[in-house]
A and B are shown apart, each in its own frame.
Chain A
Amino acid sequence: MDSIVTLKEITKTYRAQKAVDHVSFSINKGEVVAILGSNGAGKTTTVMMMLGLLAPTHGTVQLFNKDPRSKAVREKIGAMLQEVSVMDGLKVKELLQLFRSYYPNPLTVEELINLTGLEEADLKKRTEKLSGGQKRRLGFALALAGNPDLLFFDEPTVGMDITARGRFWDTIRTFAKAGKTIIFTTHYLQEADDSAERIILFNKGAVVMDGTPQEVKQKLSKKSVSFITDDEVPLKVYEQLPKVTHVYRKRERVYLNTDDTDAVIKALIKEDYNMSHIQIEQGRLEEAFEQLVAGREVL
């Protein structure tokens, strides 16, 4: 596999605080990866280290097997960062031309317009006169100017309206089909689920999960089998059943938490416990995620 991004044991310490704590992962060519987590989970810091804008306190980052700060790497990457305003005093077209001149194989201005939803009329406007939405589109165009192989987006859809969002993800899908590698951060599970093939979940500076959206959702959601019973069977007995992760009682009902409700039901029936009103609950995913990022749940 072609590993394009490699992070090895990255730690970033600000004063005594660990913003990023022993993070390791690699990303292959053509992957669309969401870095998911709440604000302050270390997503932006990690992106900044991948871009070579911040030096890790420990560990190494490599893009295309090189130092992210090398010119060869910069020619192949593009990024949209948070809190970056655009250079003022220039017209949109002039800024696009300037950016195109930095790269060996830039996209044409027309291609950039088509991809980002900038309009012909915007080209003649000074950058400081653009609306918030137009600035985001221009930022997107600047990220794409060099026709990069690897793209970074830090919270890309913040400040975009629904149309702009749709267009943004459409363009991302086109790029992914063309074999480009895309890394974006978000704090919306839904967005990560819709748009990424892989989710790296950050919590408190560390990677807590890394897998397909399906896998992550499965691990996040707490499924359970519950039933009403008259038996005075100690809860510990149920805990011995295969695949059961946690058992508790709420009024007359016994709940068995599990990843695999089918296996638990089979086991319960096999043991022939006295059960009535059996229910399977899928667990609410968003709720589980909220709890995780709010730090109430320890994984």
Chain B
Amino acid sequence: MGVLGMQVKMEILRILRNPYFVFWSLFMPILFYFIFTKIVNTGAADQSQWQAHYLMSMASFSVMGSAIMTLGIRMVQERTQGWSTFVRITPLSGSVYFFAKMSGQMVIHILSIIVIFIAGALINSVSLSLMAWIGSGLWLLIASLPFLGLGILVGTMKRVDTAAGVSNVVYMLLAITGGLWFPMDILPHFIQAIGKWLPAYNFGNGAWAIVEGKTPNLSNILILTAYLILFMIISNYIRKKQEAV
């Protein structure tokens, strides 16, 4: 196995063994899914459409969480504990290290999406066309990039406590204002207006469109791309500033 393969494999193992990942990105979304499609009557007109819609919400919620929190907090940990410094004296290049981290994280996203989709199929026998399954899965994977960017931004923070606190709040706020926990219609209008410009709504909305047989809006794609670029520019700037000291 090459250096990159080995590095990716270890990154994946580390995430799978992280109890926070298992709790927040697998257990919680599935539990929420069960509660809001089986126990609580949401009064949706079309039950099977709601079940598919909410499955996408929870898959988005899961992927978003592991991208922001698992990745971000781990990056801060590795830096504060001197591990990132130590890796710099090994022949492993910084770019391979970074690329492996991102690839490992993407594999985890694929895995989370598959697990949550299977949960949906088992709990509510959600049935979609093969194209819709694959299409929404691919959307969730590719459109998760801005959240990886946000995770990297969290990863530039100095202390693990700060990173954990900030990323938790950002994660929850994004999930609620993005209509991932419950449909946006029930939120106050001004929050809806803001939420439509935030990345979580645009992320979920693409997947919701796909399960309804539509294609994601161009605005969703453009807004997510803009966030990706923005997060990359900010974290690059911060990193340069930190290195200069």
Cβ-based interface call for B240 (8 A): no
Cβ-based interface call for A90 (8 A): yes
Q: Note all chain A residues with C-beta closer than 8 A to B18.
A: 89
Q: Note all chain A residues with C-beta closer than 8 A to B1.
A: 101
Q: How large is the interface on A (under 10, 10 to 19, 20 to 34, 35 or more residues)?
A: 20 to 34
CB A185 to nearest CB in B, in angstroms, measures 16
Interchain CB contact under 8 A, A87 and B83: yes
A81 with B85, Cβ < 8 A, contacts A74-B90, A87-B14, A90-B13 known:
yes
Q: How far is the CA of A177 from the CA of B101 in the complex (A)?
A: 40
Interchain CB contact under 8 A, B90 and A86: no
Cβ-based interface call for A248 (8 A): no
Q: How far is the CA of A184 from the CA of B25 in the complex (A)?
A: 45
Residues 100-118 of chain A, each 1 if its beta carbon lies under 8 Å from chain B, else 0: 0111000000000000000
**Consensus secondary structure, chain A interface:** loop
Interchain CB contact under 8 A, A88 and B88: no
Count residues of B near A (Cβ-Cβ below 8 Å).
24
Cβ-based interface call for A30 (8 A): no
Cβ-based interface call for B166 (8 A): no
Cβ-based interface call for B3 (8 A): yes
A98 with B10, Cβ < 8 A, contacts A81-B86, A87-B78, A87-B83 known:
yes
Interchain CB contact under 8 A, A74 and B83: no
Q: Note all chain A residues with C-beta closer than 8 A to B93.
A: 71
Q: Of residues 70 to 93 in A, which have CB atoms within 8 Å of B's CB atoms?
A: 71, 74-75, 77, 79, 81, 83-90
Q: How far is the CA of A197 from the CA of B92 in the complex (A)?
A: 32
Residues 52-65 of chain A, each 1 if its beta carbon lies under 8 Å from chain B, else 0: 11000000000000
Q: Note all chain A residues with C-beta closer than 8 A to B13.
A: 89-90, 94
A90 with B83, Cβ < 8 A, contacts A52-B89, A71-B91, A77-B89 known:
no
Interchain CB contact under 8 A, B10 and A94: yes
Q: Note all chain B residues with C-beta closer than 8 A to A74.
A: 89-91
Cβ-based interface call for A51 (8 A): yes
Cβ-based interface call for B129 (8 A): no
Cβ-based interface call for A168 (8 A): no
Q: How far is the CA of A75 from the CA of B6 in the complex (A)?
A: 18
Q: Note all chain A residues with C-beta closer than 8 A to B89.
A: 51-53, 74, 77, 79
Interchain CB contact under 8 A, B10 and A102: no
Interchain CB contact under 8 A, B14 and A85: no
Residues 80-111 of chain B, each 1 if its beta carbon lies under 8 Å from chain A, else 0: 01110110111111000000000000000000
Residue of B nearest to A87 (CB): B83
Interchain CB contact under 8 A, A84 and B81: yes
Residue of A nearest to B4 (CB): A101
Q: Note all chain B residues with C-beta closer than 8 A to A77.
A: 89
Q: Note all chain A residues with C-beta closer than 8 A to B7.
A: 98, 101
Residue of B nearest to A76 (CB): B91
Q: How far is the CA of A88 from the CA of B76 in the complex (A)?
A: 13
Interchain CB contact under 8 A, A101 and B3: yes
Residue of B nearest to A75 (CB): B91
Interchain CB contact under 8 A, B82 and A89: no
Interchain CB contact under 8 A, A89 and B86: no
Q: Note all chain A residues with C-beta closer than 8 A to B189.
A: none
Q: Note all chain B residues with C-beta closer than 8 A to A84.
A: 81-83, 85-86
Interchain CB contact under 8 A, B81 and A99: no
Q: Note all chain A residues with C-beta closer than 8 A to B88.
A: 52-53
Q: How far is the CA of A142 from the CA of B10 in the complex (A)?
A: 16
CB B138 to nearest CB in A, in angstroms, measures 28
Which of A83, A88, A102 is B90 in contact with, Cβ under 8 Å? A102
Q: How far is the CA of A79 from the CA of B87 in the complex (A)?
A: 11
Cβ-based interface call for B241 (8 A): no
CB B212 to nearest CB in A, in angstroms, measures 39
Q: How far is the CA of A55 from the CA of B128 in the complex (A)?
A: 57
Cβ-based interface call for A97 (8 A): yes
A90 with B90, Cβ < 8 A, contacts A83-B82, A97-B6, A101-B6 known:
no
CB B158 to nearest CB in A, in angstroms, measures 15
Q: How far is the CA of A71 from the CA of B88 in the complex (A)?
A: 10
CB B172 to nearest CB in A, in angstroms, measures 25
A81 with B3, Cβ < 8 A, contacts A71-B91, A71-B93, A102-B90 known:
no
Q: Which 9 A-B pairs have CB atoms at the shortest separation, nearest pair first? A: A89-B14, A84-B82, A85-B81, A74-B91, A101-B6, A75-B91, A84-B86, A102-B90, A102-B92
Give me the interface of A with B, judged by CB distance under 8 Å. Answer: 51-53, 71, 74-75, 77, 79, 81, 83-90, 94-95, 97-99, 101-103, 126, 142, 146
List 6 other contacts, CB 8 Å, given A53-B85, A81-B85, A81-B86. Answer: A71-B91, A85-B82, A86-B83, A87-B78, A97-B6, A102-B90
